[in-house]
Every structure is written in structure tokens, then in C-alpha cells.
A and B are shown apart, each in its own frame.
Chain A
Amino acid sequence: MTTITAESEAVIIRRGLPWYRMLWRDKFACVAFCWLIVLLWCLLIGPEMLGDAATKLNLSNRNAAPGMDDGWLMILGADPLGRSLLARLVTGARNTLSVAMSAVVIAMCVGGMLGMLAGYLGGWVGHLIMRLADILQSFPSLLLAVIVLYVLEPRVANLIIVLAITRTPIYLRVTRAEVLEIRERVFVDAARALGGSKAHILRKHIAPIVAPTLATIMTVDFASVMLSESSLSFLGIGIQPPEITWGLMVAQGRNYLSQAWWLAFFPGLCIMSATLSANIMSSWLRIVTDPVQRWRLEAPQKLEEAAT
């Protein structure tokens, strides 16, 4: 195990390393971070930069194989209508990522607020909220989404709402557990004694403490929401054509599996790389925010190898 003595550790390890240096120390997290930046670019300005390449038909290029022959836009091949797969992936990134992000943010806000209410008020309100969370959590989320999406039309807004509903219980439970502990602390008593209202205490004294925990959960959750969205789109009850998402592209490519494998392969690879990056980033974040484990990233590389 560890061969470093306490003194040498104190000398070598620099505390308070800036975040980018700690990111550089973890090569996997570094790659994941760069990939997420690329995806963010796709989300923000990608489709505008590519113009109409994602919708422009070119029937002479039907199911063109990946390669540079027809210009760099066709580098990943073309779909059955001769549209550039690369351009469609970039456009699909906007839908896939923005749906997942919105769902996660909504789930966090709603779950966080209900959790604070359930934890701080307790009583029958808390009981009712927790039972609702029980019902939601005890049922497979995908089936719940299938049923609800079939009732509401499969529009983007509805998809976001459904995904948010299925993720809410997690935030609710975590927040409630934290609030139950925080509300017993002295500073909350003090705020109450000074005449602070319930809303004021929740907003100014409890919410800031719960927020970082919720932010960490959000990164992991982002990955799983993206997977759920893709599964729904794949089953044909998510976003409907002509809109595109990566899950939908996999579903459409499935019909051409033996002639044009790239149609289903690359969108799936995008889904996987995005979720994997989010998961790697979240485990990096967990190490950085944990004072017990942070030394692994703060210590110089050689020292770390000696330690392991």
C-alpha cells in the first residue's frame, strides 16, 4: 500500500490545485471533458454552421459508405435519402442533449423543492409526498414513460415532462434526507429564533447546502436520462420524424442493418460516448469534491504510481 511518509506528502502535495490541473492529471476525465465540449458546440451552434446539409437530399448518394470521396460532410456515409450522416448526427445532438438537459434540470428543481417541503414540514404533507415518490420509484420508469407518452402526444415538451417525472424521486429522496439532518443544526434554530419565516429559512439557509449534492447527482442522471430518451425514441414513442435524435437514427438504421451498418452504428456510438463521458466526469467530480480522495489528483504522477 502507501509507501509515502506523512512528511514527504506534506512537502510535495500542493493543496488547492486549480481545477484544470486536476483535470489534466486524470487522462480519462480529460478526454471526456473535451468530448463534452465538442457536444456542447454541436448543441449551441452546430446545426447553424452546417446549414441545410442535414436535410438536403441527394439520391445519387443513397446509403453511401463512409469515406472522403464525396467531401468531408460524407465522411460518415449517407442515409437512404442521401443526406449526410455527420450533419444529421450534429442536428440530432441538439435534440438529444437539450431534451436530456431540460429533463434533468426540471427533475432537480421539482424534486429538490418537494424534498425540502417533505423534509422541513414533515407531517401529512411529507407523508403524502413520500408515498407519491414510492409509487413512482416502485415502477419501471420506461413503462411509465411508455404509458404516459401514449396518452399525451409524443411531442418534445411532453417527452421532457415524462422523463423529468420519472427522475424526480431520486432528487426528492436525497434532498429530504439532507434537509432532515440540516434542520436540526444550530444555525437553523437561530434563524427560526430570530423570526425567519419557513420560506426564508428554506431558501437562504437550507437550499445552499443541499445544492452541491444535487449538482453531483445531476451529472450521473444526465447520462441515464439520455439513455431513457434514446430507448423511447428507439421504441418509436419518443420524438417523431422528421425531427431527429440519436435514438431515432438507430431505430431507422435498423432497417438497413445488412446493407448500411453505419446508419445504426454511429448514432449509437454517439449515445454511448456521451453517456460514458458524463459518467467519467461525474466520478472525477466526486473525487475532486471529496477531501479524503482529492490527493490522488493533487499528488504528482510519479508519487501516485509509487502509492498504488
Chain B
Amino acid sequence: MIRYLGQRAFHSGFALIGLIIAVFFLARLTGDPTNLYLPIDASMEIRNDFRKKHGFDKPATTQFVVFLGDVSQGNLGFSIRKQRPAFDLVLEAYPTTLKLALTTMALVIVCAVTVGALAAYKPGGVFDRTASISSLSTASAPDFWVAITGILVFAVALRLLPTSGMGDGIEYWIMPVVVLMLRPFGLLVQVVRSSMMNALSSAYVKTARAKGMREKRVIYVHALRNALLSIVTVAGDQTVGMINGAVIVETVFGWPGIGKLMVDSVIQRDYAIVQAAIMVTATAIFTLFILIDLIYVALDPRIRHR
């Protein structure tokens, strides 16, 4: 088990390095940021000074070696635009996104498991058909459009919820969380339904029923536990995919999270923030994958990673 985790961590490290190399050189391809930061009438001298100060005058490979040296000392670069260490900015943005993503994912899992399990209980029934169509619809809905329509209806027309911004009250959270829930919910309901249908038609469920066990226990303890493996896999993928949704939701609702920070810094060519944000995000994602492996083992004692 420990050897497996070690191997997994090694592969993740490999992937992380590949990603950093790709992002570093791709970012350098976007062109010299000097012209973007300095006023148009800046003299050649000022420009050269600026390039020298930030190391843009050296070839990209040399810049990369310097960058690696900095990273090994825990320095992830300096944001020219915001005049602060990039790592601090990333760490400030992360709690917002994490709170949003975790709340959403928790709600998604609870709702999807309930709906999916009920739908699988009577395949082809009224509830199942409604659940199938509505899960397909939420999985196909463009999140940015739902967000805009939501603002139009609930904030502009009905004046029930705030149009955007992040606050302490629950009213600020309703629309972002619901919009972010849509796609993972739709996909997860379908997975829960099909894996529950498999589980419910298996021999151990028949045995449990034959023993006279109560139906609730059969569904939620026996069938659900066996269906959980595939649910966890998809939920893990959806958590990663949630960053895609977070970019949109944070942009539309103006939340100062990591998605907005990354898109803004790509557009402003603030290399340092992009690199720092990607390194932190990728590390978080790889850790999540390893955690999911551990959950597998906890859920199903037959799985032993070697």
C-alpha cells in the first residue's frame, strides 16, 4: 500500500513538472510583457531597465533555470501587476473557491445520491423518467447562461437576491452554489442511477430481502455501499471539473476566487500568478486523486493496491 502511494506520488510529481514546463514556456510565448506594463512613451532605457530587473532580457531557458532555483527555495515569483508575492495572492484567493466548491460538492453528493437511488428503485417509473430528463437537462445547461438568467429573474425582476458579490448572508450564496451544482448534479445522478440499478439486481440484495430485512436498510446499507465506488470516481472527477465551473461562476458573480484570479492574470500576462496558481491547483488535484485511492480501499476491502 505504502509502495503504491509512493509510486502514485512519483507519477504525480512527474506530471506536475511536465505541466510547469509547459505553462512556463507557453507563457513566455505570449510575448514580452514590457510593452503592457510601461506607458507607451517610455524610453528605450526605461524599457531595458524593466526587462533587466525582471529577467526578461535573458533567454527563456535561463529564465526557467532561475525560476526553478526560486521554486526550490519556496519562492513562487513576484506579481509585477500587483507588486506582491504571487504565492500570497493565490493563497488569499483559494479559501473563497474552496468554500464554494466544498459546499457545492457536499450538496451535489447528497442530492444526487438521494435522487439517483430513488430513480433506480423503480426504473421506468414516473419519478425515474422525471429524474432522467431533469438530470440530462441540468447536465446540458450552459452555466453562464443559467447564471445570467438567474440574475435577470431573481435579482433584477423579483429583487429577491443580490445581483453579485460575496457576502456573509446566505442570499449571496444561493445563486452561485445552485449554478455550480447543475452540471455535476446531472452527471452524478445518472451514474448513481445506473450503478444502483446494477447493485439492486445483484444476488446479495435478493438474499438481504429474502432474510426479511427492511427495504430502507437494503437500499441504503447494502446496495448503496456497493454502488459507492463508481460514485466516488465520478464525484472526484467532478470536483476537478468544478474549477471549470468556478471560473465562470466567479466571473459572473464577481467572487474573488482562484478561477477569476487565473483568468485575469492570463489576460494581464501576469506570469508569476499563473504559474503559482497552476502549481497550487495541480498539487491540490493530485492530492485529491491520492485521497480518492485511499477512499477506495476504505470502502472496498477487496481492493489492495500493490
Contact = CB atoms under 8 A, between A and B. Distances in A.
Interface of A: 28, 131-132, 134-135, 138-143, 146-148, 150-151, 223, 227-228, 230-231, 234-235, 237, 247, 250-251, 254, 257-258, 261, 264-265, 267-269, 271-272, 275-276, 278-280, 283, 304, 307-308
Interface string B259-275: 10011001100000010
B247 interface: yes
Nearest to A305: B124
Given A142-B247, A151-B26, A276-B137, A271 B240 contact: no
28 contacts: A131-B11, A135-B15, A138-B286, A139-B281, A140-B243, A140-B281, A143-B247, A143-B259, A143-B262, A146-B247, A146-B263, A147-B266, A147-B274, A150-B30, A227-B140, A228-B244, A230-B145, A231-B143, A231-B247, A247-B144, A257-B156, A264-B148, A265-B149, A265-B152, A272-B137, A275-B140, A276-B136, A308-B125
B239 to A, nearest CB: 10
The binding surface of chain A is classed by DSSP as: helix
Given A135-B18, A143-B262, A267-B145, 19 more contacts: A131-B14, A139-B19, A142-B247, A143-B247, A146-B247, A146-B266, A147-B27, A227-B140, A227-B142, A228-B244, A257-B151, A257-B156, A264-B148, A268-B146, A272-B137, A275-B141, A280-B136, A308-B123, A308-B125
B63 interface: no
B139 interface: yes
Given A134-B11, A268-B145, A271-B142, A141 B137 contact: no
Contacts of A279: 136, 139-140
Contacts of B95: none
A304 B26 CA distance: 56
Q: How large is the interface on B (under 10, 10 to 19, 20 to 34, 35 or more residues)?
A: 35 or more
Contacts of B285: 138-139
B248 interface: yes
A257 B152 contact: yes
A83 B275 CA distance: 43
A308 B124 contact: yes
Interface string B121-143: 00111000000110011011111
B29 interface: yes
A143 B243 CA distance: 8
Contacts of B219: none
B23 interface: yes
Given A143-B244, A147-B266, A131 B18 contact: yes
A230 B142 contact: yes
A283 B30 CA distance: 42
